[in-house]
Amino acid sequence: MGKFKLTFHAERCKGCGLCVAVCPKKIVSMGHQVNSKGYAPAGVENEEACIGCASCAVMCPDGAIEIYQAEGGSAK
> Is 36 within the bounds of a domain?
yes
> Is 14 within the bounds of a domain?
yes
Number of domains in the chain: 1
Question: pLDDT band at 76, cuts 50/70/90?
Answer: very low
The model's pLDDT over 14-39, given as tens digits with 9 standing for 90+, comes to: 999 999 999 999 999 999 999 999 99
In whole angstroms, give the CA distance from residue 58 to residue 9.
Answer: 14
Q: Which domain holds residue 58?
A: 4-69
CA distances 43 to 6, 58, 76, Å, are 9, 15, 23
pTM: 0.84
> Is 76 within the bounds of a domain?
no
- CATH for 35: 3.30.70.20
Backbone φ, ψ for residue 55 (5° rounding): -60, -40
> Is 43 within the bounds of a domain?
yes
Lowest mean pLDDT across 29-38, 40-49, 65-74: 65-74
